[in-house]
């Protein structure tokens, strides 16, 4: 329920928020509520991934990516997510989710969510995802072109390429296990 309230609040604020270019950073301001907490009284690790969804929805709406998705009748699919937790967020603290596109390869788009409190990065969530329509996946290069961006991705950091490769390796291992 907590996520739906935050999503609705973000959508109600959306008409007054400026559109952003595809590689810009969007910022969503939030507060820690009781349902975000674990038994240690700080935001539970899994909640960061849920809060990143709100930031990503704001980014998709403000960058115009939702229009491209609608044209292709495509839905966003999250493939993999990883998180790095540096500090804790406690009850009623204010924080921001800074969302930006890191880049893309031939299949995946990579999005970063930085959780920021008092100008310090509290946590980072990285997501690789794609848009899938009735005719299959919409390539990130095609998506970029329709957003008015260069089809060539900005250079991806080495750690991001390695992470993506490890996700592919795990997927391959799972497919092999299913066949056995």
Beta-carbon neighbour count of residue 12 at 10 Å?
Answer: 9
What's the mean pLDDT when you consider all of the chain? Answer: 91
Q: Is the pLDDT of residue 13 over 80?
A: no
| Residue whose C-alpha is closest to residue 55's, from 20, 98, 16, 13 | 98
Confidence band of 16 (pLDDT split at 50, 70, 90): low
Please state, for a pLDDT cut of 70, what percent of the chain lies above it. Answer: 91
Q: Is the pLDDT of residue 2 over 70?
A: no
pLDDT at 1: 45
DSSP secondary-structure letter at 14? G
Q: Is the pLDDT of residue 133 over 70?
A: yes
154-165 pLDDT, tens digit per residue, is 999 999 999 999
Burial 38-75 (b: 16+ CB within 10 A, else e): eeeebbeeebbbebbbbbbbbbbbbbbbeebbeebebe
Are 51 and 97 in contact by the 8 Å Cβ rule? The answer is yes
Contacts (Cβ under 8 Å, ≥6 apart) of 134: 73
Q: Is the pLDDT of residue 15 over 90?
A: no
pLDDT at 87: 96
Q: How far apart are CA 55 and CA 7, in angstroms?
A: 9
Q: How far apart are CA 117 and CA 3, in angstroms?
A: 20
Which domains, ranges and CATH numbers included, belong to the chain?
Answer: 2-154 (3.10.129.10)
pLDDT at 9: 67
What is the rounded average pLDDT of the residues 84-105?
Answer: 96
pLDDT at 159: 97
What is the rounded average pLDDT of the residues 124-139?
Answer: 96
Q: How far apart are CA 69 and CA 57, in angstroms?
A: 13
What is the rounded average pLDDT of the residues 33-60?
Answer: 92
Are 103 and 163 in contact by the 8 Å Cβ rule? The answer is no
Top-ranked range on mean pLDDT: pick from 11-15, 21-25, 35-39: 35-39
């Amino acid at each position: 329920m907590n996520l739906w309230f935050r999503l609705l609040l973000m959508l109600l604020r959306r008409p007054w928020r400026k559109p952003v270019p595809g590689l810009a950073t969007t910022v969503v301001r939030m507060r820690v509520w009781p349902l975000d907490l674990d038994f240690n009284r700080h935001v539970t690790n899994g909640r960061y991934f849920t809060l990143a969804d709100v930031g990503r929805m704001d980014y998709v709406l403000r960058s115009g990516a939702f229009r491209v998705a609608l044209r292709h009748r495509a839905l966003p699919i999250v493939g993999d997510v990883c998180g790095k937790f540096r500090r804790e967020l406690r009850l009623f603290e204010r924080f921001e989710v800074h969302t930006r596109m890191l880049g893309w390869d031939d299949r995946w788009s990579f999005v970063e969510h930085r959780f920021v409190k008092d100008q310090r990065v509290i946590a980072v969530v990285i997501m690789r995802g794609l848009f899938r329509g009735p005719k299959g996946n919409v390539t990130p290069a095609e998506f970029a072109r329709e957003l008015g961006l260069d089809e060539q991705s900005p250079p991806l950091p080495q750690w991001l390429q390695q992470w993506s490769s490890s996700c592919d390796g795990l997927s391959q291992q799972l497919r092999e296990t299913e066949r056995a």
